Structure 1
Amino acid sequence: MNHKDFVSPSQMALLLLAFTLGSSIVFIPNPVIHAASNSAWISVVISGTAGIPGLLSVLYLYRIYPDKSSIQYLGDIFGKWIGTVFAVLMLLAIVRMTANIVIGVGAFFTTTMMLGTPLYEFHVLILLVAALTALAGIEVTARLFNLFLLVMLATIILILLFGMGNYHPANLLPQFTGGISPILHGAIINFGFPYSEIFTFSILLYFVRPARNEPLGRLLFSVYALNMLIFIMVVLCATMTFGSGAGHRNFTLYVMARVTHISGFVERSDAIAGITLIAGSYIKATIALISLSSGIAHLLKLKDSRSVILPLVLLLLFMSLTTYSTQMESSITWYLIVPAINMCATIPIILAAVTTMIKRGFRKEGKLNTAEE
């Protein structure tokens, strides 16, 4: 598949930051705190560290195959049939991921600001806007999301700053009250969403046009570290604000905005904060849709990836409306099954990187032996 869209390394790094923050900054602090209590920040450190091998693998394979997506080079590394199986596994994981993002948007609005509104209205709207953005191409998307990302980061910072009057540092103590098991449980949840989802970018990095003054690896690791820092700050601030009750409050940042009041200056800002934060779900859904359409186009050898976007939207709409019948079912899936699915989708990338390193090592050794002879 030929493509005309290119993005710079810095634009791709900002897309990664937008993707990893996206909807996760709204939905994830609550279950992580619920699992690990006031030690949730340690869970974030563990999960973020566990995601580094996936990011290293994606970058290594991009350096070896700069003009190919993972859907293409998996076949080169493992052979046609095994490569196809791995590619299909990754694409199915992205399908499930995108549907869950849309479901999360509907759950947010119907349980916070617009209680009587049917779910399908939000699902149709978010998918339609994401599809129109994806149809414009990744270059236009990257430029647009730079502004969205700045607004989202500013909103997070303002919520944390204006909420300082509600912080009680004593809520952070004691640590390790339940041992290591709750911390690991929180780490598994946070690793599954968003750190294990880095494999999505193995399909997108071939869009990058290298630049000497913008080292891609350094930029991606910088925004990855920034994401971890933001998550740690949000978890710590939520714990200081609500104590052990933070784990029982859905949409943590939105709730923090609701309890923030500065007389004559900040009043009833929660609606604006909620809409701004949930826009991250639109950003993440768009990036996932671009990755998914590009991967399918490579797998089926289509000339234009945009031709599959609208059919995908119909599939995702159907999935988002029929996948879960109860809130309890969706919670169990998000916190247990989704991390397992994303881990399984990350394994082919790590295996591909290790296999490539071994093959290249043998080739170099063979060349050295030939030269010595």
Structure 2
Amino acid sequence: MKKTEPITTGQMACLFFAFLLGSAIINIPQPLIEAAKNGAWISVILANGCGMGLITCIFYLYHNNPALNFIGHIQQKFGRSLMLLFSIPIVLQLFLMLSYIIMDIGNFFTTSMMKQTPSYMFHFFILLVSALSVRTGFEVMARMFVLLLSYLLFFSIIVIILTIPFFHVEYLLPVLPDGIKPVLHGAYRNLGFPYVEIILFSLLLPFVHKSERKSLQIKMFSVVIIHGLLLILAVACIIMAFGPLAGTLKYSLFQLARLINIREIVTRVESFIGIALVVGSYMKATITLFILKELLGSVFRLENKDIIIFPITLVSLLLSLTLFTNELEFTEAVQVVYPLYTTVIAVIPLLFITVVTLIKDGNNR
């Protein structure tokens, strides 16, 4: 049996950043701007604040017993039966999440870059590489993702800098053309993806090395803040570049990169952003697969959890090929159903166990 090696807080923060950022910086702006219009950046602030609240609950439980995630806390306080009751919808959520990530990569390639290639080829190879990455171990993933995350951030920032001449600040006004309701709608979308997913990532916190757990909270909060600032920057730049069209252009950062043409020398920069999208989605898919492997292994009490990696991968591949018949159904599921389902099956259990723990701690004092 191969034991999962503990990692440093820096490596965990890097994994957390990769999980949050993933493909969000490229995928989030369009549906967010579509819902909230010019107030999309306010939606990010609201969703980010809710994310900070969730991570506060997570670390309250974590400091009570760093060896347990919130599913472990449920089992400890209420027994295995209730733990299974909460775990089953979370497992289903992780399967859906992994399949959606893979489908997004396939849709991107078949609509933007490699239109003649069938999407199942992208699904198969991304899932295969993710499965092989999970088998290499948690620490190897953490070290590798530092480089990949640097690539994603570097080219995203370069694109924003090179497109500054196309920005029109006046497009940011009026901030609330239709009142606060669209902003709340945008915050709901942004909360479901990716901030509620913080709860799913928290299942990995016990893997941090015991000697470094004290500094983990500060680094995780810092990651959430930096992620929010990057999303605000991306949303604002896309609005300034495209104005009223910003909410209609899918893969907004990719479309932004297409504007770059410096004396016919620096061109086709969107190819790098396309690769960045794949890199970000691959990192998130790999981390999701690892969480799913760990959770299922714990539920079934497996001695060697690695044996279920490829069965999980196969199920996810089949789901990615059969869940939807067209891209419209996929878009509706991701933007409407997914945030609600994630909030119900992840936020409610977390708040429930946090309140119970608060009450018990209060009674023990």
**TM-score category (smaller protein):** over 0.9
Q: Distance in 2 between matches of 1:77 and 1:214?
A: 24
| Preserved CA contact (<8 Å) 2:5 2:207 | yes
Q: Distance in 1 between matches of 2:203 and 2:107?
A: 29
1:55 partnered with 2:74? no
Report how many residues are paired: 364
Offset from partner CA, 1:99-146 (integer Å, 9 cap, x none): 100010001100000011111000001100000001111110000000
- The equivalent of 2:352 in structure 1 is 351
Given that residues 91 and 296 in structure 1 are in contact (C-alpha distance below 8 angstroms), is that contact kept between their aligned partners in structure 2?
yes
The match for 1:209 is 209
- Gaps of at least 5 residues in structure 2 are none
CA contact (8 A) 1:77 1:83 kept: no
1:223 matched to which residue of 2?
Answer: 223
TM-score, normalization by structure 1: 0.94
Pair 1:128–1:288, CA change in 2 (3 A): same
* C-alpha spacing 1:206/1:213, structure 2 compared with 1 (3 Å): closer
Letter paired with 1:357: L
Is the Cα contact below 8 Å between 1:94 and 1:292 reproduced in 2? yes
Counterparts of 1:101-250 in structure 2, within 5 Å, are 101-212=101-212, 215-250=215-250
**In the alignment, is the contact (CA less than 8 A) between 1:102 and 1:123 conserved in 2?**
yes
For residues 257 and 209 of structure 1, what CA distance do their matches in structure 2 show?
Answer: 40
User: Residue type matched to 1:169 in 2?
Assistant: V
Deviations 1:150-169 (A, max 9, x none): 11111111011011011000
Deviation at 1:77, TM superposition (A): 2.4
Moved more, 329-338 or 255-264: 255-264
In the TM superposition, what are the counterparts of 1:9-28 in structure 2 within 5 Å?
9-28=9-28
Which letter maps to 1:252?
S
**Residues 27-106 of structure 1: matches in 2 within 5 Å?**
27-106=27-106
Q: Deviations over 1:341-361 (max 9, x none)?
A: 110122212211221121111
Secondary structure in 1 matching 2:278:
helix
1:112 partner SS: helix
Q: CA deviation at 1:211?
A: 3.9
**Residue pair 1:131, 1:289 contacting (<8 A) in 2 also:** yes
**Partner amino acid, structure 2, of 1:327:** E
Q: Which amino acid counterpart does residue 246 of structure 1 have in structure 2?
A: A
1:9-54 CA-to-partner distances (Å, cap 9, x unmatched) read 1111111111011021121110000111111100111111112222
Indicate conservation of the 8 Å contact 1:18/1:284, yes or no.
yes
Residues 4 and 138, structure 2, Cα contact 8 Å, conserved in 1: no
Equivalents in 2 of 1:244, 1:40: separation in Å?
Answer: 13
Instruction: Quote the residue 1:368 is aligned against.
Output: none
Separation of aligned partners in 1, 2:277 and 2:162: 16
The code of the aligned residue for 1:354 comes to V
1-side partners of 2:205 and 2:275: how far apart?
A: 30
Distance, in Å, in 1 between the alignment partners of 2:160 and 2:57 is: 34
Q: How does 1:212-291 map to 2 (within 5 A)?
A: 212=212, 215-263=215-263, 265-291=265-291
| Contact 1:162–1:260 (8 Å) recurs in 2 | yes
Supply the distance in 2 between the matched residues of 1:66 and 1:51 (Cα, whole angstroms).
20
CA distance in 2, matches of 1:120, 1:265: 35
Equivalent residues of 1:59, 1:217 under 8 A apart: yes
Give the distance between the partners of 1:291 and 1:301, measured in 2 at CA.
Answer: 15
> Cα RMSD over matched residues?
1.5
Superposed CA deviations along residues 149-189 of structure 1, whole A, max 9, x for unmatched, are: 11111111101101101100000001111111111111111
**CA displacement at 1:314 relative to structure 2:** 0.5
Which residue number corresponds to residue 362 of structure 2? 361
- Match in the other structure for 1:370: none
* Distance across 1 between alignment mates of 2:69 and 2:46: 29
What CA distance in whole angstroms lies between the structure 2 residues aligned with 1:175 and 1:303? 55
